[in-house]
Amino acid sequence: MQVWNISFAGCGFRSIYYLGALSCILQQVPQLVHGASKICGASSGCLVAAAVTVGIPIREFTVHGRSEFARKHTLGVFHPTFSLLHIVRHSLLEKLPADAHLRASGKLCVSLTRLADGKNVLVSEFDSREELIQVLTCSCFFPVYCGFTPPSYRGVHYMDGALSNNMPLFEQRNTITFAPFSGESDICPREGTFNFFEVHYGNVIKRRICHNGYMDALHFLRERGELFHLHPPHN
């Protein structure tokens, strides 16, 4: 396999699963990430994709790491003083390097849902750091859950990319897909499910989710790595 993409599904606060999965891959077969043609994502998955693309530790962008405020209130994410989108934007402004848009252009692929007609739009070119931030925040905007006024990119309003395409480029046979819920993704749990909006994970559960991501990625490398010309250690 000469050319491949990787794609991260949107998954709410469960994106800590990707921390484990990517830790395994970067430890065992880093070329799977560094050699990817496109790194794609929708909703919270696009934050992980962006972190990987521009070279930021993904721990900085896992949505679960931004949920502590919500856990302090009875209404959680629906508390009137909680703004997930504000938290995401603040994190992007703080963490993204000045040349993030240059690193991301042509490689990062972000799924958006156009508000006007519900059509999916994939964005891979970014003229500025601010434009990159706009695209990422648009992809993370889930109506009501994140507010009532969607953000805009190039003057057009968009909302959560997961609403129209939760796994960008999944239809291409050379795309390696990641998801923290069971299904047909290449790297995913083999059974079980989860609450997309749940934020009340204790440290033990978070470590378990992260560990499961690591083990699922290791299983993929051992069982299917040959299909992608990957050779992880068999220890």
Active site residue 160: yes
Catalytic residue among 7, 15, 43, 91: 43
Residue whose tokens read 């057009």: 156
Name beta bridge partners: 184. none
Instruction: Tell which residue, 10, 13, 19, has the closest CA to residue 195.
Output: 13
Catalytic residue among 44, 160, 186, 216: 160
Instruction: Tell which residue, 201, 183, 41, 175, has the closest CA to residue 112.
Output: 41
Q: Check: CB of residue 80 under 8 Å from CB of residue 113.
A: no
Q: Check: CB of residue 29 under 8 Å from CB of residue 230.
A: yes
Active site residue 105: no
Q: Check: CB of residue 220 under 8 Å from CB of residue 187.
A: yes
**Which residues belong to the active site?**
43, 160
